[in-house]
């Protein structure tokens, strides 16, 4: 990244699901929830915060250790402080409880990725992503190439194996377009890079069977 000519301010937004229906009908996870929230949030910033530049954002998904309820933590990076009006984020999210805090370090979100008991991908909704990162071209030293490098550094294990097996040259960055032909592997592949690990699958199955079995 190039040297920024501005201060960087970060805000953490926690997004949960109102599974108990305290705000109306219970809300359930759907595949595009976080994407749709990002679209609405960026549109809101563009319309009402014309003097604020969005430098980037990142989010992680996780589950509560006890309830296994799924939720998100998202960090926004801007060149000016953001003060949202009461109820704005809750309305943009529309799924349940939200919480706003100040993130004082770019590594603030990393602390959430290290919570082993909340990264149990076995309990993630089917098809849910673990994290995402977006950085504005304004803060990248050479635009497109830096974005490709960032993308390469975020590849999943199965994507790396696909590229190694199919690329004709030695440059991974020149081969990223090959991923358009790649099909995601079975869900079990995702466990290889998770805290769950494949060797724990049998224990998880027994645990679920015990929970579902009627008591005698």
- Predicted confidence band of residue 89 (pLDDT cuts 50, 70, 90): very high
Domain count, the chain: 1
Nearest residue to 73 via CA among 125, 126, 124, 132: 132
Residue of 142 and 190 predicted with greater confidence: 142
Q: Is 95 a member of any domain? A: yes
Rg of the Cα atoms in the chain:
20
The Cα-based distances of 168 to 67, 92, 163 in angstroms read 47, 45, 9
Q: Is 173 a member of any domain? A: no
Summarised one tens digit per residue, pLDDT across range 90-105 is 999 999 889 998 887 6
pLDDT (0 to 100) of residue 84? 92
Supply the range of the domain harboring residue 3: 1-154
- Predicted confidence band of residue 194 (pLDDT cuts 50, 70, 90): very low
pTM over 0.85: no
134: phi then psi, degrees, rounded to nearest 5:
-135, 135
Q: Is 99 helix (H, G, I), strand (E, B) or coil?
A: strand
Q: Is 31 a member of any domain? A: yes
């Amino acid at each position: 990244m190039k040297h920024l000519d501005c201060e960087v301010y970060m805000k953490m937004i926690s997004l949960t699901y109102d599974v108990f229906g305290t705000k109306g009908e219970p809300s359930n996870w759907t595949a595009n929830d976080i994407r749709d929230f990002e679209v609405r949030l960026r549109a809101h910033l563009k319309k009402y915060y014309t003097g604020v530049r969005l430098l980037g954002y990142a989010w992680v998904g996780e589950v509560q250790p006890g309830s296994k309820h799924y939720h998100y933590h998202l960090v926004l990076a801007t060149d000016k402080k953001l003060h949202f009006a009461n109820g704005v984020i809750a309305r943009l999210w529309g799924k349940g409880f939200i919480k706003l805090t100040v993130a004082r370090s770019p590594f603030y979100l990393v602390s959430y990725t290290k919570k082993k008991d909340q990264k149990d991908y076995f309990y993630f909704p089917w098809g849910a992503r673990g994290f995402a990162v977006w950085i504005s071209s304004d803060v990248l030293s050479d635009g497109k190439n830096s974005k490709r490098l960032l993308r390469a550094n975020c590849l999943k294990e199965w994507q790396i194996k696909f590229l190694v097996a199919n690329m004709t040259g030695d440059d991974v960055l020149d081969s990223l377009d090959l991923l358009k032909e790649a099909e995601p592997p079975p869900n079990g592949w995702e466990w290889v890079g998770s805290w769950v690990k494949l060797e724990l699958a049998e224990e998880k199955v027994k645990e679920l069977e015990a929970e579902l079995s009627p008591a005698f």
